[in-house]
Amino acid sequence: MSRKKDEVQSMTLGEVGFSTNGGETLAAPPLADQPAAKRSPRDPANTLSGCERIVVIGRTGSGKTTLARELAAALGVPHVELDALYFGPNFSTVPLPVLRERTVAAIAGDRWVTDGNKRAVRDLVWPRADTIIWLDYSLAVSLWRLGKRAVWRTSVLQEQAAESGGKKGLPKQLLSAAKGVLTALRSHMGQRREYPILFAKPENQHLAVLRLRSPRAARRWLDRVIEARN
């Protein structure tokens, strides 16, 4: 079987949270084992028809925001970045009630694409969504991207400190900016265990789930579904 066919097959199985890849079997049942009444009629692996509210998830550094932004632009719908609702100037954060209030307002529309893994607002986002795109890339890919992001953030923080003349809070800010690497390490296997279990829960059976295993597969998928709409 060709590599391209393998990627397509993996994505198709991933729609219901079940995949075998390199001997790994995930927890959610295959499509044939799910009651017909609970199956989503949407087929995000091949078309975005019927996909009105899409959530892009994946570990830190997987490129969720980039893909979500491109997808939203292609569909002509708002892009909601959950991190943008949570983080303030100099990577400060807002209180949880503020984040939840902002999230409710941001996803009130009928059509949107959002990205983020925030557990604190999952109970708000997932019930409203109808489609999930899971970027389940290798740890090496995430760490490479996080490394580039950490260099950029460090440069930004140092420039801001130099302009303001205040370096008192710089070490704390640099530490905060570097936490993404540790987050990626902790979440790598955690998400692979957790997400299939979540997808299999009764309250999430309305979701059509597509699992993309590499940036190459994600690019091919995005190009294909956008072309199909034109």
CATH number of the domain to which 93 belongs = 3.40.50.300
**Residue 21 pLDDT:** 36
Q: What pLDDT is attached to residue 197?
A: 95
pLDDT for 1 equals 46
* Full domain range(s) for residue 142: 3-229
Joined together, the tokens standing for residue 220 give 């091919």
Q: Is the whole model's pTM more than 0.75, yes or no?
A: no
Residue 139 is predicted with a pLDDT of 76
Domain count, the chain: 1
Q: What is the pLDDT of residue 223?
A: 94
Helices (DSSP H) in the chain: which residue ranges? 3-14, 64-75, 82-86, 96-106, 122-128, 139-164, 170-200, 215-229
**pLDDT on residue 37:** 42
Under-70 pLDDT residues of the chain: 1-40, 91, 141-189
**HSE value, Cβ hemisphere, 13 Å, CA-based, for 112:** 20
User: What's the gap between Cα 200 and its chain centre?
Assistant: 18
Alpha helices in 107-138 (DSSP H): 122-128
* 203 touches 6 (CB < 8 A): no
The pLDDT, as a whole number, for residue 225 is 93
